[in-house]
Amino acid sequence: MFRPRSLASLLVILAVGAVSMARAEDANSAAASGKVPQGAKIFVAPMADGFDSYLKDAIAAKKVPVQIVDKRDLAEFEITGTSDSQKAGTAKKLIMGNWHSREEASISLSNLKSSEVVWSYSVHKEASAHGKKSTAEACAKHLKDDAIEK
Amino acid sequence: MHIRKGYLAALILCVVACPSLAYSWIVQQNNSAQDQNKTKNESHAPSVEPSKETTADLKSASTDEGQLATVNNASIPAYAKVYVAPMLGGFENYVIAGLRNKKVPLTVVVDRTKAEYEISGVSESEKAGWAKMLFIGSENSNEQASIKIADLKTGAVIFGYSVHKTNSARGRQSAGEACAKHIKQIVRD
C-alpha cells in the first residue's frame, strides 16, 4: 500500500537527483571541450618555418568568425603549434612517381585566462597538393567546424 | 584530595625512614609509566613492515604498439589538470591533439603552476629513404616516442609509455594518438 503523498515525494527526490547529476556531467563535458565564442580575439604564436603566416591566411580564407590580433596582451585565446615539411626528393619522384611534399602540423588553442587548452588538432598529408597551405587550411577548417560556437 | 595528602605523607615518611627503598619505588613507578607510553606509541605508530610494501612496484605490460608501465597501478582522476611539457620537434602538440582525438577526459593546461600532473617525453622521426622506397615500396616514416607522467605534488613518476611505429601511416600524429590512447587507460572516472 503506497500512499500517494509518499510516492510523489519519492518521485520529486529522484527528479532532483537526476537533474543535479545531469548538470554535473554537463559541466564536466563543457570543461573538456570548451567552445570559442564568435568574434573572439585570437593571437597566433610564431611557429617553425613561418607556419603561423599560412595559418592566419587560412583563417581568413576559410572565413573563420574570429578576430586575429598581433599582440598577445590583447588576445583572449592563443594558437600555438608546430609544423614539419619535407619536399619530395629525387627518389620519391622517380620511384614513387610523386612530387608532392609531405606535410604535418599540429596546433592547440588555449584560453589565456584559464590557461586551459580548449581545442587541438593535428594533420598529416603524405602528398600535399599545395604544401603548407593545405595543412594550414585543414587546421582552419576544423577550427571553424569544431571549436567555434555556432 | 585526602588520598593525595596521605600519599604525600607516606612518601615523605619513606624517604626519611629508608631512602634506598623510596628510590627503588620511584624508579619502579617511572619504569611502569614509560612502558605504558611505549605500548601506546606502538599502537599508534605505523609498523615498519607495510612501508616496505609501498615502495615502487613497476609493472609492465607489452601491447601491440609499445610498452606500458604503471607504478603501483597508479591512476589519474578524470578532468585532472595536466601540463604537457615541450618536447623535441613540437611533439607535445601531437600528444595534446591525440588526447582530444581519443577523448581522454583530462584538462590540458599551458601553465605548469596550475597543473597537477606533467607529461614529458621525447620523440624521433625517421623519414623514408630511397632504399625503403625502392625495395619496400613505402614512403612512410618510422616514428618512435616515449612519454612519462609525473605527479607534480609528490614528484613520483606514475606512468610511462613508449611507442615505435615502422611505416607510420600518419607520422607523428599516429605516435601522439598511441600515447593518448594508453594514457586513457589510467584515467579513472
User: How many angstroms separate the CA of residue B107 from the nearest CA in chain A?
Assistant: 6
In one-letter notation, the amino acid at residue B75 is S
- Please state the rounded mean pLDDT for residues B65-89: 83
B11 and B97 fall within a common domain: no
CA distances from A141 to A51, A123, A147, A148, B118 (A): 16, 11, 10, 11, 30
Judge contact between A84 and B154, C-beta under 8 A: no
How far is it, in rounded angstroms, from Cα B140 to Cα B142?
Answer: 7
The full set of domain ranges for chain A reads 1-32, 37-147
Find the domain containing B28 and state its range.
2-45
Residue B6: pLDDT band by 50, 70, 90 thresholds?
low
pLDDT of residue B60: 54
Judge contact between B76 and B106, C-beta under 8 A: yes
Residue B117 lies in a domain: yes
Residue B53 lies in a domain: no
Judge contact between B145 and B123, C-beta under 8 A: yes
If one counts every other C-beta atom within 10 angstroms of the C-beta of residue B37, the result is: 10
Residue B39 lies in a domain: yes
Cell numbers 556531467: residue: A25
B81 and B136 fall within a common domain: yes
Looking at domain A37-147, which of 3.20.20.70, 2.60.40.60, 3.40.190.10, 3.40.50.10610 is its CATH number?
3.40.50.10610
pLDDT of residue A78: 96
Q: Does B72 touch chain A (CB under 8 A)?
A: no
Interface mutation vs chain B, best among A115, A128, A143, A146, most B CBs within 10 Å: A115
Interface mutation vs chain B, best among A106, A111, A142, most B CBs within 10 Å: A106
Residue B183 lies in a domain: yes
Say if residue B120's pLDDT is above 50.
yes
Number of domains in chain B: 2
State the pTM of this model. Answer: 0.69
B80 and B161 fall within a common domain: yes
Does the model's ipTM exceed the 0.90 cut?
A: no
Judge contact between A137 and A58, C-beta under 8 A: yes
pLDDT of residue A5: 67
Q: Residue A75: left if φ>0, alpha if ψ -120 to 50, beta else—which one?
A: beta
pLDDT of residue A17: 52
pLDDT of residue B33: 43
Of the listed ranges A141-150, B22-31, B65-74, B149-158, the least confidently predicted one is: B22-31
Say if residue B146's pLDDT is above 80.
yes
- Classify residue B78 by burial, with Cβ atoms within 10 Å: 0-12, 13-18, 19+: middle
